[in-house]
A and B are shown apart, each in its own frame.
Chain A
């Protein structure tokens, strides 16, 4: 890990404009390379222009100078506000520019946007967190929240599916979750290596290892669309009420405020009606190709 030193870039926003398009200047305070293509950043404000506190599941638009903007979910809320943590996968021009940033570099942030995971409403219930690959990142604040208020929840299960042992995200979290007696943590990989002694297969196979009272269980699901679809099926098969299943969607976004039209999903805007949806609100759309 790196630490920020002497952060004092010259910054002046010419006008304290309320224009939603103008990003707030933040700087990289900390950078942690997770694996081949994922990097976690902690940003802190570079001016008095500070974003509102975020809730688990919400996202910001991240602007890299001269390259563009992308929507990224908050991946930890442990850093005290106004610090903001994002985990970025290097998959395109903007995400690459963001991943290449170093401590002290400036980024632009707009947000927070979107609907949160309803962690408060899940209190006094059993919880299933089902994550696929980088889908762990938007769910990480949920894990943090539950750990902080652990006594307020029933059984807590974390079912994590990932591509292969090398792609395991948040390695330190995984190690501590594995030794945490208060969480039933299960992990599986799609493809194993010879030294892997754990589960092999898709994440839905872990549902039978979860401990929960189906009638009093809330599930939070995030991962590739196909994984979320079958994840929801497997939870419903196990008796979980579909009204208690939440899913986080991803679409192209330019504005994040319902004005640009890019993130439309049926009659919904993923940016403002989501990204976290109640499963029944979108279950019919999940089956329609190229929606």
Chain B
């Protein structure tokens, strides 16, 4: 769709409910933000009412606070600890199983990809993160079949991000806050006496879905309100760094003295890699019944911060926190360009929020620069 053809609609919460139902009736499993354990979590939901309403987040380095207002808002939080990655690339899945037969064994199928999924409220940064995962799992010589299937059947309802936190830096990574493509439907939530949303249709699939729903074209003033919110959102982000410059600095400084400084604070806990929407490392696990006759192979998320991640006979390649942090940051911000022709960072800030000691990678990059 060219710019001039983009139609925007003013939709109500009830209209979104219609869209939700339309997706359900087309056999999509809706997945969206709900409140659980004091955080915004991404869960499978059966009814629109389950969506977290009125929740706001207060994020800082190593800080996550959730509060609730009576404003009926749906997308006024920033980003919770989870990313939608877990539905395209699950934390654990059974690759296959096998049963012993005399000298040999029979292989049986493992977990099958999920039915059609619809992601609700996904932010621009995370749409870009999914595109990065596509490069890893779909564009190489070998394709991840599970991911491929889940991805093909995906429906994306994006939410323009009007509430960036102090940890966000998508303006630096040029991945937000306004969703630019990669979605089927996108909304910007406007908080008013009666909240409304400016809806944009991003694909034929999206168009088809809303065909039967009566949509009211948005007025220029309403569109302007939404645009203003996104423009203000951009201005709120104060963190700045130049990704291409960072890539160069990191690749040229594997022995920079600052790595020792970070290592003094880093706990090598792997939180940053688990909350990251693009970290893709995995390990395999073999689980065998006590009889020894039946075994299962599982794929599970792994982290370059884990001790046995780099183990080869004789010991670990990276036994120190210094070498692990260096590996993580240099890979994400620099090596990623060589491997996948893009940065591995989308500026969502989760690694800063969920670092127990509040390490801020943008600050570390600045320190490396000086």
Nearest-CB distance from A126 to chain B (Å)? 33
Nearest-CB distance from A261 to chain B (Å)? 3
Kindly report which residue of chain A lies nearest to residue B299, judged by CB atoms.
Answer: A21
Taking a contact as CB atoms closer than 8 A, the residue among A14, A22, A46, A252 that contacts B311 in the complex is A252
CA distance A230 to B326 in the complex (A): 26
A201 within 8 A of B: no
B339 within 8 A of A: yes
CA distance A236 to B141 in the complex (A): 34
B15 within 8 A of A: no
8 Å CB interface, B89-107 against A = 95-96, 98, 100-107
CA distance A215 to B95 in the complex (A): 50
CA distance A25 to B106 in the complex (A): 9
Contacting pair B295 A252 (CB below 8 A): no
Taking a contact as CB atoms closer than 8 A, the residue among A105, A251, A257 that contacts B140 in the complex is A257
Main SS at interface, chain B: mixed
The answer to whether residues A10 and B104 also contact, given A66-B286, A290-B317 and a CB cut-off of 8 A, is yes
Contacting pair B288 A66 (CB below 8 A): yes
The answer to whether residues A17 and B109 also contact, given A66-B288, A91-B313 and a CB cut-off of 8 A, is yes
Nearest-CB distance from A252 to chain B (Å)? 5
Contact size class for A?
Answer: 35 or more
The answer to whether residues A259 and B142 also contact, given A14-B107, A252-B311, A290-B320 and a CB cut-off of 8 A, is yes
A1 within 8 A of B: no
Contacting pair B96 A22 (CB below 8 A): yes
Chain A residues near B310: list those with CB within 8 A: 251-252, 262
8 Å CB interface, B337-354 against A = 337-339
8 Å CB interface, B255-286 against A = 255, 280-284, 286
8 Å CB interface, A1-42 against B = 9-15, 17-23, 25, 27
8 Å CB interface, B309-343 against A = 309-314, 317-320, 322-323, 327, 331, 334-339
A235-264 interface mask toward B, CB cutoff 8 Å, 1 = contact, 0 = none?
Answer: 000000000000000111011011111101
Chain B residues near A255: list those with CB within 8 A: 282, 284
Kindly report which residue of chain A lies nearest to residue B145, judged by CB atoms.
Answer: A19
Kindly report which residue of chain A lies nearest to residue B103, judged by CB atoms.
Answer: A9
CA distance A108 to B295 in the complex (A): 13
Chain B residues near A22: list those with CB within 8 A: 95-96, 107
The answer to whether residues A290 and B319 also contact, given A21-B297, A254-B282, A264-B331 and a CB cut-off of 8 A, is yes
Kindly report which residue of chain A lies nearest to residue B285, judged by CB atoms.
Answer: A68
The answer to whether residues A10 and B101 also contact, given A65-B295, A260-B302 and a CB cut-off of 8 A, is yes
Contacting pair B317 A65 (CB below 8 A): no
CA distance A266 to B326 in the complex (A): 10
Chain B residues near A20: list those with CB within 8 A: 142, 145
Kindly report which residue of chain B lies nearest to residue A93, judged by CB atoms.
Answer: B286
8 Å CB interface, A263-283 against B = 264, 266-269, 272
Chain A residues near B144: list those with CB within 8 A: 259
Contact size class for B?
Answer: 35 or more
Nearest-CB distance from A288 to chain B (Å)? 5
Nearest-CB distance from A118 to chain B (Å)? 19
Chain A residues near B191: list those with CB within 8 A: none
A201-244 interface mask toward B, CB cutoff 8 Å, 1 = contact, 0 = none?
Answer: 00000000000000000000000000000000000000000000
8 Å CB interface, B101-119 against A = 101-110
Chain A residues near B217: list those with CB within 8 A: none
The answer to whether residues A23 and B107 also contact, given A252-B317, A262-B309, A291-B317 and a CB cut-off of 8 A, is yes
Kindly report which residue of chain B lies nearest to residue A49, judged by CB atoms.
Answer: B107
B292 within 8 A of A: yes
Kindly report which residue of chain A lies nearest to residue B317, judged by CB atoms.
Answer: A290
Given contacts A14-B106, A269-B339, 15 further A-B contacts (CB under 8 A): A10-B104, A13-B106, A19-B96, A21-B96, A27-B104, A65-B295, A106-B105, A108-B105, A251-B317, A254-B284, A257-B141, A259-B144, A266-B335, A267-B334, A272-B141
- The interface of chain B, by Cβ under 8 A from chain A, is 95-96, 98, 100-110, 136-137, 140-142, 144-145, 251, 254-255, 280-284, 286, 288, 292, 295, 297, 299, 302, 304, 309-314, 317-320, 322-323, 327, 331, 334-339
- The interface of chain A, by Cβ under 8 A from chain B, is 9-15, 17-23, 25, 27, 46, 65-69, 89, 91-92, 95, 104-106, 108, 250-252, 254-255, 257-262, 264, 266-269, 272, 288-291
What are 13 of the A-B contact pairs (CB < 8 Å)? A12-B106, A21-B95, A21-B96, A67-B286, A257-B140, A259-B136, A259-B282, A262-B310, A267-B251, A267-B335, A272-B140, A290-B317, A290-B320
- The 8 lowest CB-CB distance pairs between A and B, nearest first, are A261-B281, A9-B104, A267-B335, A106-B104, A290-B323, A267-B338, A91-B313, A66-B288
